[in-house]
């Protein structure tokens, strides 16, 4: 039996709920698991896919057992383990959807536009509610069920960094646009607003890098790329004082000192458990970053190495790389996808949410974007050859360019 493309459409539009809106973890888990179960029942899983999924389940089971044997709380083990499982489930569904070319270019661009606009509007609504005194930030966090980093960023605004903000690394390079300028402008306003309100040093740098990655990937400097640079320049001028403090002030030093302290604490545990770690859901004894999520740290790759040891973390990266890079065709797609993967990997040294739904859906969007690049005759024409001909060259086939939304 075949799986209807509508199911894959539902899966991708589920991104809006899972990424643009923080919290509601049980509902999101149920929705993702339902989609996965439907695909397993209706579709025909390959033997290789089955082996991969069983390996993921075995990895989570073994390292959850290690944590339980070492005396860590069962609810923390189940919480962390379920998050990792959902991360891999989203990746698997995304890989299946990419194989089926589940979304057209216009559909993908519309999806990314809704995600960025929705994420920005939610942050603005929370900001307005907090600043007007209608509710407190703590009330919003408890009601929705999430945690955010908050601080003043100038002009009376508050910093709101959500776990899903990491998806920015994937949205900007995967958005093509070019059909309607108002949509491109709205997309840039949304993604720039999300990055600004997150006030993350890493996301600021990644935002600029992704603008240039996108331009080189599509082989042209278009309206989105140029406007993105203009928007960045304007925001830097407006918030220059706050940005200087964030990048080189006391707040920056405090963040770096916290990460240095976390590394020192985890190094001690890693040396004591070098091969198999302390288990999924574990934390450094008497040293927690968060009471709600004690297994998360700012330097999450160190935390996962502590939890899974050299053997477990190697298996994790191998299973992740296998599901991602086995789905990507073409050297050009492979190169730019690897660049995005490295950005995400680096984020794990500054961000505790590398296995969040934002990362999972981000990789799913990356895979479908690579498939669209591979299947598009316009992209194949522009990508033929090995030289970077010109950032300003238009597609060769104007009729096809209109069809795929490359020009309006």
Percent share of the chain, pLDDT over 90: 27
Which pLDDT does position 139 carry in this prediction?
83
pLDDT digits (tens, 9 = 90+) for 165-177: 888 889 999 999 8
pLDDT digits (tens, 9 = 90+) for 331-375: 889 999 999 999 999 988 887 878 888 888 999 999 999 988 876
CA dihedral sign of residues 221, 226, 229, 232: negative
With b for 16 or more beta-carbon neighbours within 10 A and e for fewer, the 88-125 pattern comes to bbbbbbbbbbbebebbebeebbebbbbbbbbbbebbee
Would you give the DSSP letter of residue 393?
A: P
pLDDT digits (tens, 9 = 90+) for 273-283: 999 999 999 99
Is residue 316 within 8 Å of 85, Cβ to Cβ? Answer: no
What's the rounded Cα separation, in Å, for the pair 129 and 127? 5
Which pLDDT does position 396 carry in this prediction?
36
pLDDT, mean of residues 1-21: 74
Main-chain dihedrals φ then ψ at residue 157, nearest 5 degrees: -95, 155
Token pair in block for residue 62: 């073994």
pLDDT digits (tens, 9 = 90+) for 223-232: 888 888 888 8
pLDDT, mean of residues 197-207: 85
Per-residue pLDDT band at 385 (split at 50, 70, 90):
very low
Is residue 247 within 8 Å of 281, Cβ to Cβ? Answer: no
pLDDT digits (tens, 9 = 90+) for 122-161: 888 888 888 888 888 888 777 777 777 666 666 667 778 8
Most confident region among 95-104, 131-140, 297-306, 391-400 by mean pLDDT: 297-306
Task: State yes or no: pLDDT of 384 exceeds 60.
Answer: no
Task: State yes or no: pLDDT of 55 exceeds 90.
Answer: yes
Distances (CA, A) of 132 to 135, 137, 143, 149: 8, 11, 18, 19
Is residue 73 within 8 Å of 37, Cβ to Cβ? Answer: no
What's the rounded Cα separation, in Å, for the pair 82 and 86? 6
What's the rounded Cα separation, in Å, for the pair 94 and 359? 12
Tell me which residue of 339, 341, 261, 345 sits closest to 304, measured CA to CA: 345
For residue 288, count CB atoms less than 10 angstroms from its CB and return exposed for 0-12, middle for 13-18, buried for 19 or more: middle
Which pLDDT does position 248 carry in this prediction?
66
For residue 342, count CB atoms less than 10 angstroms from its CB and return exposed for 0-12, middle for 13-18, buried for 19 or more: exposed
Percent share of the chain, pLDDT over 70: 85
Tell me which residue of 218, 90, 217 sits closest to 164, measured CA to CA: 90
Which pLDDT does position 17 carry in this prediction?
81
What torsion, rounded to 10 degrees, do the Cα atoms 11, 12, 14, 20 define? 160
Main-chain dihedrals φ then ψ at residue 355, nearest 5 degrees: -105, 25
Per-residue pLDDT band at 288 (split at 50, 70, 90):
confident
Which pLDDT does position 141 carry in this prediction?
77
Which pLDDT does position 187 carry in this prediction?
92
pLDDT, mean of residues 26-43: 82
Which pLDDT does position 388 carry in this prediction?
36
Lowest mean pLDDT among 14-28, 58-72, 375-389: 375-389
Mean pLDDT of the chain: 81
């Amino acid at each position: 039996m075949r799986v209807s493309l509508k199911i894959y459409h539902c899966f991708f539009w589920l991104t809006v709920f899972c990424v643009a809106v923080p919290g509601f973890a049980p509902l999101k888990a149920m929705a993702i698991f339902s989609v996965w179960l439907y695909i397993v029942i209706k579709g025909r899983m390959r033997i290789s896919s089955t082996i991969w999924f069983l390996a993921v389940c075995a990895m989570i089971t073994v390292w959850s057992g290690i944590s339980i044997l070492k005396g860590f709380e069962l609810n923390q083990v189940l919480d962390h383990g379920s998050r990792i499982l959902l991360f891999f489930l989203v990746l698997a569904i995304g890989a299946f959807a990419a194989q089926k070319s589940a979304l057209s270019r216009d559909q993908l661009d519309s999806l990314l536009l809704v995600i960025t606009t929705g994420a920005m509007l939610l942050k603005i609504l929370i900001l307005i509610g907090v600043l007007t005194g209608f509710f407190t930030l703590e009330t919003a966090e408890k009601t929705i069920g999430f945690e955010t980093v908050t601080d003043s960023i100038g002009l009376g605004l508050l910093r709101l960094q959500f776990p899903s903000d990491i998806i920015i690394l994937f949205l900007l390079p995967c958005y093509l646009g070019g059909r309607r300028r108002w949509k491109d402008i709205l997309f840039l306003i949304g993604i720039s607003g999300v990055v600004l309100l997150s006030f993350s040093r890493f996301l600021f740098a990644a935002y600029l890098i992704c603008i240039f990655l996108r331009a080189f990937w599509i082989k042209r400097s278009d309206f989105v790329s140029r406007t993105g640079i203009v928007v960045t320049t304007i925001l830097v001028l407006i918030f220059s004082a706050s940005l200087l403090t964030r990048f080189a002030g006391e707040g920056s030093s405090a963040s770096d000192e916290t990460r240095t302290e976390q590394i020192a604490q985890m190094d001690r545990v890693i040396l004591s458990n070098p091969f198999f770690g302390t288990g999924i859901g574990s934390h450094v004894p008497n040293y927690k970053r968060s009471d709600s999520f004690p297994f998360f740290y700012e330097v999450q790759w160190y935390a996962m190495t502590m939890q899974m040891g050299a053997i477990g973390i190697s298996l994790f990266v191998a299973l992740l790389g296998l599901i991602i890079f086995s789905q990507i065709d073409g050297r050009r797609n492979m190169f730019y996808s690897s660049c995005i993967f490295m950005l995400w990997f680096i984020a794990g040294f500054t961000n505790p949410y590398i296995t969040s739904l934002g990362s999972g859906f981000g990789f799913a969007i990356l895979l479908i974007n690579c498939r669209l690049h591979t299947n598009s005759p316009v992209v194949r024409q522009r990508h033929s050859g090995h030289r970077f001909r010109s950032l300003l060259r238009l597609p060769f086939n104007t009729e096809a360019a209109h069809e795929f939304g490359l020009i309006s």
